[in-house]
Amino acid sequence: MTDAPHATPVTDQAAYAQAVQTAVDAAAAYYGAGDSSLDDDAYDRLVRGIAAYEEAHPDDVLPDSPTGKVAGGAVIGDIPHTTPMLSLDNVFSVEGLAAWVAGFERRLDRPVAAWSVEPKLDGLAVSARYRGGRLVQLVTRGDGTAGEEVSHAIGAILGLPAELSEPVTVEIRGEVLMTSAQFEAANVTRVEHEGVPFSNPRSGAAGTLRARERTYRVELTFFGYGALPLPPDDASDLATRLRELPHSEIMQVVAGLGVQTTAATPVAGIVCTTVEQVQARVEEIAALRAELPFGIDGIVIKADLAADQEQGGFSSRAPRWAIAYKLPAVEKITRLVDVEWNVGRTGIIAPRAVLEPVHLDGSTVTYATLHNPADITRRGLMLGDHVTVYKAGDVIPRVEAPVVHLRTGEEKVIDFPSECPRCGGEIDASQQRWRCARGRACHAVASVSYAVGRDQLDIETLGETRIVQLIDAGLISDFADLFTLTRDQVLTLDRMGPTSTDNMLAAIDQAKAKPLNKVFCALGIRGTGRSMSRRIARHFGSMEAIRAAGVEDFQQVEGIGPERAAILIEELDELVPLVDKLVAAGVNLTEPGFVEATAVPADQEDGSVTAPPLTGMSVVVTGSMTGALAELTRTEMNELIERAGGKASSSVSARTSLLVAGEKAGSKKDKATKLGVRIATPEEFADLVQDLIS
């Protein structure tokens, strides 16, 4: 978690006036069509700079200033809200959250009994008004007091039913957004009809929600986050319950009425009773952000009980009983400077965006993926475009779309290669992902270097220089050829004497006995790193079984869906000659300790089966290992956990079953202690898995 973002410096009255105008224009565009020239982070920094100037120069404050106003003062729509739809104040760090909680509890003069923690969805807040169970009016948040009517969208938003499961009168509040899949589909449709893609999911949702006369359909999604009586003085049983129930129970009512909530997602709202639990859930949601099919830009923490909310009250723009823990920006606007075409080890020709450097999610981003030529065409990208760049967690940054309204007319068409950028050979453009017609042979050095790497076959004596020698001499074309090299062949190479030759051949011979998961990883199939290769090898047990597997068989392996299964089968078909060479060379293609699922080993006197010691457990390793584990690398520790039936993880959460804490364990041990996670020393863990330690 990071501290609050820095403010954009505002040095004098003229700069202040310009900053206010820029912020007002940006807010109007953002809450209007969603096409602001500023990304969220830039806007937040600008407003903080304005606020800092106003604090130092209170007599200079302009009436249009966005500070202290809902939606930055952008007035959109004239439909009054039954109850104001306010914004949320923000914190940016664990320390800021703790300080806010302490301040709120001082205001109450007592501890808060329960906190509700849920994701802050990155969409448009709307009010859905139901009468007798039928959705009769849909209104945007606008300036918090009044919004724009968008009732024409009724019946066209997933998760927001036109009719509830009960004939009640109620106002449901929530967020309209585009999921990642909906955004991709929307841009395909939009380019076909208008030639202009949406710059990001939020602008797509904003533009679509307000569009009244489009000739095509774009799908949206709704998640409810609250409910209140309609009108406010309603005396019905439901209205009474909504005024008295805790927020968490109100959300159960909302879901029970048939409205979609985040309850079925990995970031479902939960109730916490301590600040430590709140912080742990914040970190869990933040860690899941990159995997979600929809955007979030923070986590909302609110007092769960109605009495606490009532006593907490409201400021002019936000409830005092709720706060938004803002996450680092994962989306910014920068300029597309160039496109590079790189050839991977499998022959895939991958375009890479060269960007004006931009600070994003804790790092400076200069390059981003563009996937393939069809992706460039679909997004309508041009050199010189302002583009939206997205990054979350450890995910490689990607270019989402151009910000079309910022074009100047000087942008240029992106040229696609007519021949392989690496070898000059023909390009196979029959699939969306272009490929050199020579396949892996185009980039044999990279392919073989990967195969002999530490996490694959681990042949230390084979550096890139030696691999280049072997390929240039015509002795190998892929890593399978290594296992048929003769002493006489190797001795013909420069600087290869008898001793170095014998050492290299001995290392290659040792690699022949590596387990199947290492050999499979060496194949370099897309989407199969060392962890996935271990899962595949442990599931099938032999290369023969893997080659015979179909799409449904591969989907039985954790983490493999239909799309990845199809890729696996496609690439395994391409690798038939390579695998045949491995078989002929006598390379081990079985996984040690594999027990076929249909076999029932009776290892107890009564015929019962003993499950692996870590079955169903999520295990985290931290610090330096000692004792019997002292020589194991972190990768080897993770492999040991998986052989013992567990799942290796890198971060501690409430779902962690066991932390193996070595010397200098640090913050992970502290967090595990707070969460009540079981902690074991390396020696205790070694005793637990002693039968698996070689």
Cite the active site residues.
120
For the record, the structure tokens of 659 come out as: 């932390």
- Joined together, the tokens standing for residue 618 give 């999520």
Helix H or strand E segment including 584: helix 576-584
Distance, CA of 452 to CA of 456 (rounded, Å): 6
- Cα 127 to Cα 173: distance, rounded to the nearest angstrom: 5
Burial class (CB in 10 A: 0-12, 13-18, 19+), 72: buried
CB 20 within 8 A of CB 64: yes
Q: Are 105 and 179 in contact (CB under 8 A)?
A: no
Instruction: Identify the CA nearest to 350 among candidates 327, 376, 324, 329.
Output: 376
**Site of tokens 């584990």:** 629
Contact yes or no for 259/172 (Cβ under 8 A): yes
What is the C-alpha separation between 243 and 225, in angstroms, rounded? 15
DSSP-assigned states of every residue in 401-435: EE-GGG--S--BPPPPPSS-TTT---EE-SSSS-E
Instruction: Return contacts of 209-215, CB within 8 angstroms, 24+ apart.
Output: 209/124, 209/126, 209/140, 209/150, 209/153, 209/176, 210/32, 210/33, 210/148, 210/150, 212/152
- Quickly count: other Cβ atoms within 10 Å of residue 320's Cβ: 18
CA 483 to the chain's CA centroid: 40
Contact partners, residue 387, CB within 8 Å, separation at least 6: 199, 333, 334, 335, 336, 353, 355, 381, 399, 400, 401, 402, 403
For residue 507, give the DSSP letter: H
Q: Which residue has the tokens 């209205």?
A: 239
Beta strands 157-158 and 322-326 are unpaired
Q: Which residues make Cβ contacts (< 8 Å) with residue 260, sequence separation at least 6? A: 158, 159, 160, 221, 222, 223, 224
| Cβ atoms of 450 and 459 closer than 8 Å | no
What residue type is assigned to position 295 of the chain?
G
Q: Where are the beta strands (DSSP E) in 494-625?
A: 618-622
Rounded Cα gap, residues 186 and 218, in angstroms: 6
Angle between helices 562-574 and 576-584 (to 10 degrees): 60
Residue from 460, 458, 484, 457 nearest 470 by CA: 484
In the chain, how many H helices and how many E strands?
23, 23
CA distance 53 to 61: 9
Residue 502 has a CB neighbour count (10 Å cut-off) of 13
What does each C-alpha distance from 162 to 38, 88, 134, 182, 259 come to in angstroms?
35, 28, 6, 20, 10
CA 619 – CA 634 distance, rounded (Å):
12
The first and second tokens of residue 666, run together, are: 């640090």
